[in-house]
Structure 1
Amino acid sequence: MSNMSNRAISNEAISDSALSKQLEATAAEFGIPGMTVGVWADGREIFAEYGVTSIENPLPVDRDTLFTIGSAGKSCTATAVMRLVAEGRIDLDAPVLRYVPEFTLSDPAHAAAITVRQLLNHTSGLDWNLINDTGAGDDALAEFVARLAEIPLIAVPGARASYSQAGFNLLGRVIEKVTGLTFEQAVTRLVLDPVGLAHSGYERDSIMTRRFAIGHERDEDGALSVTRTWTGTRANNPGGGLVSSVAEQLRWARFQLGDGRAESGEVVLPAAALHEMRRPTVDLRASSLGDAIGLCWFMREIDGVATFGHGGSAFGQFAELLLVPEHDFAIIVMSNASPDGIPSNRAVVRWALEHYLGLVDGDPEPLPFEASRAGELLGTYDIDAMTMTVLTHGTGLSLECRIKPEIRAAAETDLPQDHPPFPFALLPGDGDEYIITEGSFKGQRGFFSRDTTGAITGLDLAGRLFTRV
């Protein structure tokens, strides 16, 4: 018995050491100042940390260091909605107007048709977001919703999925109206406190008393500098304002893998409602986010095994959460530098899947470049804040992603640097799907959409539709 116990301890130590070495190697490869990872495997938690919170005021990153996790926090908003559904206070298939009667769009019929479920699974037809600041007061979400008549509409409700931050912000207003609390108070009471996420939240005054990470941007000369903007506007909290740590996000993952009870034994959400969140509701095409969307969660099959998860980014900080129910496995990775936070996090996730579960997450093989196809793809595609331009350089295609000059000029806070053009290639099939082959977006997938005449009308990337100009 003693020999078996010593062997188990030795194997665990090797596993922990391997995770630490992989994290350190990945951070060095991508030039990330600070990274942290948590893994739930074989019924235990494993953590590894590397680097510092900030290159200007460095403190060691640890499992309790707080990061802004961007859209990875959407699952907390969605779980708060589902708790209100379970209590009979929200109907998923009711129109949003039932709860927010003042909500309107440029097309009132479109506003009347949107349901709560369509906000959760990104099929509302709302464009990505509005770039505005409605202040830091308790009326920030109300003011944001009052301006939604300005947002572009990309499809009729329910017609297609397109990732919408604005949709989740509107969900935040639904929560406010139903509970009579601010969004932050409601999510804390409904979700964060019951699950035991005591240090996760939205309030800067609370966060600044603990150790927290700072985002970084890489300049054109390759040098890193601190990102002065730390979080977004208050109205964006429902879709991307949560601050959390690897330790607490791993606890969150264990809750999501469970039966709806917190570690204290309190039933936060009925098991059926919890599991409904990861049931596919709409398929995704050629998307790195997943094969389908549930109620917030992205579902993806990796090496024949079902997974669900969500990533996020905010001002030079990145988070990636992935759960594998079949193996009672979860991993959360956080990093603090742009533009390589996404590929560095993905590299650690892929290593962990193979190391702990034997699952290989590979990219599809692209087609050789055909100049005859390039002509119909070239051009500019945009959303409210960004433009995508498809270019050709004779031997291949590239995708140039830029924040619009007028958005930069009007911004009162730091915005991320524009990326160099990303080389991409078409994938087998109908020839309209593609994969980025180099750069910090390497492995990201998307597709070109066509109208009934066959003309290309849009480009999808990262779950968002960019309409052809």
Structure 2
Amino acid sequence: MTPGQKLGMAEHGEPRWVRGYGGREAERRGPAHADTIYPIASVTKSFTAVAVMQLQERGLLKVSDPVVKYLPEFRLRDAAHAQAVTLEHLLSNTSGLPPLVSLYGSLKRSLEADPNLSRFLLPERLPQLPYLDTYEDLLDFIAEEAGDPLGPPGTVFSYSNDGFALLGAVIERVSGMPYADYVRANILEPAGMTRSGFDPAWVQQQAGVTQLYHMAVNPPELIHAPGWWEAPAMVAAGFLKSTVNDMLRYLEIYRTGGTVGGERILSPESVRAMTTPRIPCGPNMWYAYGLMITPYQGMTLVEHGGNLKGAASWITCIPERGLTAVVLSNLIITPAARITLAALNGRLGLPLATNRFEDRDHPCPPETLAMYEGHYPSAEGVVLTVRAAGDGLILQMMGAEVKARCIGEHLFAFEQHGDLATVRFVPGPDGRIWAVLSGFRLIRKAADAAAEVAAADA
């Protein structure tokens, strides 16, 4: 069930189809419409990338510059690695930073003020985490917690809220403006996005703001979850609020090569740089700069999504066909990506269920499945446990179990919240599995995981 969701589609810049499901409130007292304000969560990352490209156009930075040029406080256990990380590596999630729990440190004050705190699945470390209220707090935390990098800069993909948060700090230092002020003055206002902003106080003053909902635990049920989570040190990673109409205007940047309603936001060269595939991040999907790129039916999907308390969002642009689409929802588990693609498939004359990648069973002898077994603990507070079962795998995470089937080499697919999700296991030079790409995060395998699983089965 989705309490409130809005889908919008435009063709050559003209809104063609806007449809709402449910309302701003589960009780349907307030219908959702194209100007209802929702959190867009990690879709914010593309705005951060636009800001970086604007500053490059103005000669104030280069994406090839090392991060330490602007943030000399950026340090890691491997000092040489820290010196080698560039802005481009942060933009493409290839810095080598492992998943960290820092988002929850930045959210901690909001979490403690949330009346439904006990109803959320949160890291056990939360009470011990420091408050990460500033960029300086975040930089110190990364230095202490990051540990060994996942690989040399530019060689491995792992989605990093920390990396985009650091880009927000760079934008502030280079522009001399707070991140939110810079984005408002240089992206939102020129694009005519009058119903978009960061300040929660501003949001609450507006008419037509969604209520937030969550599928809670203890017991499992859909609950009204008031209170917008905020993370000052992570604002550039996922805390913009917007509407379907405003986001359709924003997507014109990628449809037109940089303009919205005659206003030049980015140069065509910068748009090309932002949408150039940099590294694989999923089956038939590449990460660019704050955007995901998928070759699709002879066309290109320029996309990104986001999830946060009370938010599931997805944006897509198909430049070759002049199509743009947005889904905004006030419940995190909404399959926004699948809904967006199904709507576009309908417009393209394709079967609605056509997927972004080929979903076909791949031979995987049962005797080879044991190589994937083990525990894959993420510092973000999630542990993925993998067991062989018949001709597939059982994946256990966050208290739920799913059956995954092999659809490619080291690649397994499973249904999750109404969408098709995947995990890809990563072998090392010796052929042994050392990590898994799950939820766009590269998570190392625990060294003793296989022994623990064997002991549990004994």
TM-score, normalisation: structure 2: 0.84
Which shows bigger deviation, 438-447 or 80-89? 438-447
| Deviation, structure 1 residue 441 | 6.3
| Deviation, structure 1 residue 241 | 0.8
Say whether 1:433 aligns with 2:429.
no
Equivalent in the alignment of 2:438:
461
SS at match of 2:166: helix
Equivalent in the alignment of 2:209:
212
| Deviation, structure 1 residue 55 | 2.8
Q: Equivalent of 2:421, from 440, 444, 452?
A: 444
RMSD: 2.3
Equivalent in the alignment of 2:2:
32
| Deviation, structure 1 residue 68 | 0.9
Equivalent in the alignment of 1:28:
none
Give the conservation status (yes or no) of the 8 Å contact 1:69–1:312: yes
Give the conservation status (yes or no) of the 8 Å contact 1:214–1:317: no
Give the conservation status (yes or no) of the 8 Å contact 2:98–2:443: no
Equivalent in the alignment of 2:119:
none
Equivalent in the alignment of 1:367:
362
Which shows bigger deviation, 324-333 or 378-387? 378-387
SS at match of 1:173: helix
For structure 1, the 5+ residue unaligned runs are: 1-30, 403-417
For structure 2, the 5+ residue unaligned runs are: 111-130, 447-458
Equivalent in the alignment of 1:349:
340
Counterpart CA distance in 1 for 2:181 and 2:332 is 31
Equivalent in the alignment of 1:267:
264
| Deviation, structure 1 residue 315 | 0.6
Counterpart CA distance in 1 for 2:321 and 2:33 is 26
| Deviation, structure 1 residue 202 | 1.0
Equivalent in the alignment of 2:450:
none
| Deviation, structure 1 residue 353 | 2.0
Distance verdict in 2 for CA 1:349–1:188, change over 3 Å: same
Counterpart CA distance in 2 for 1:294 and 1:52 is 34
Give the conservation status (yes or no) of the 8 Å contact 1:125–1:162: yes
Counterpart CA distance in 2 for 1:179 and 1:213 is 32
Tell me the alpha carbon deviations over residues 174-202 of structure 1, each in whole angstroms, 9 at most, x when there is no partner: 00111122111122122111211122121
Structure 2 counterpart of 1:225, one-letter code:
I
Structure 2 counterpart of 1:461, one-letter code:
S
| Deviation, structure 1 residue 368 | 6.3
| Deviation, structure 1 residue 434 | 1.3
SS at match of 2:150: coil
Give the conservation status (yes or no) of the 8 Å contact 1:127–1:151: yes
SS at match of 1:93: coil
Counterpart CA distance in 2 for 1:193 and 1:51 is 30
| Deviation, structure 1 residue 217 | 2.4
SS at match of 2:328: strand
Distance verdict in 2 for CA 1:55–1:298, change over 3 Å: same
Equivalent in the alignment of 2:169:
173
SS at match of 2:205: coil
Structure 2 counterpart of 1:435, one-letter code:
A
What is the aligned length? 413
Distance verdict in 2 for CA 1:198–1:442, change over 3 Å: closer
| Deviation, structure 1 residue 138 | 12
Structure 1 counterpart of 2:237, one-letter code:
G
Which shows bigger deviation, 356-365 or 191-200? 356-365
What are the residue-to-residue correspondences of 1:201-240 with 2, within 5 Å? Answer: 201-210=197-206, 211-219=208-216, 223-240=221-238
Equivalent in the alignment of 2:329:
335
| Deviation, structure 1 residue 73 | 1.3
| Deviation, structure 1 residue 54 | 2.5
Structure 1 counterpart of 2:135, one-letter code:
L
Structure 1 counterpart of 2:433, one-letter code:
I
Distance verdict in 2 for CA 1:399–1:294, change over 3 Å: same
Structure 2 counterpart of 1:133, one-letter code:
S
| Deviation, structure 1 residue 423 | 1.6
Structure 2 counterpart of 1:311, one-letter code:
G
Counterpart CA distance in 2 for 1:73 and 1:439 is 24
Q: Equivalent of 1:93, from 42, 55, 64?
A: 64
Counterpart CA distance in 2 for 1:468 and 1:33 is 37
SS at match of 2:264: coil
| Deviation, structure 1 residue 395 | 6.1
Tell me the alpha carbon deviations over residues 156-191 of structure 1, each in whole angstroms, 9 at most, x when there is no partner: 211111111110001001001111221111221221
Distance verdict in 2 for CA 1:44–1:442, change over 3 Å: closer
| Deviation, structure 1 residue 78 | 0.5
Say whether 1:421 aligns with 2:401.
yes
Counterpart CA distance in 2 for 1:427 and 1:174 is 41
Which shows bigger deviation, 347-356 or 327-336? 347-356
Counterpart CA distance in 1 for 2:171 and 2:252 is 24
Tell me the alpha carbon deviations over residues 56-80 of structure 1, each in whole angstroms, 9 at most, x when there is no partner: 6842111111111111111111001
Give the conservation status (yes or no) of the 8 Å contact 1:303–1:359: no
Counterpart CA distance in 2 for 1:57 and 1:103 is 48
| Deviation, structure 1 residue 378 | 1.3
| Deviation, structure 1 residue 139 | 6.4
Distance verdict in 2 for CA 1:163–1:347, change over 3 Å: closer
SS at match of 2:249: helix
| Deviation, structure 1 residue 401 | 1.7
Equivalent in the alignment of 2:375:
380
| Deviation, structure 1 residue 41 | 2.0
| Deviation, structure 1 residue 312 | 0.5
Equivalent in the alignment of 2:393:
397
| Deviation, structure 1 residue 271 | 1.8
| Deviation, structure 1 residue 223 | 3.1
Counterpart CA distance in 2 for 1:123 and 1:387 is 22
Equivalent in the alignment of 2:105:
132
Give the conservation status (yes or no) of the 8 Å contact 1:142–1:173: no
Equivalent in the alignment of 1:298:
292
SS at match of 2:258: coil
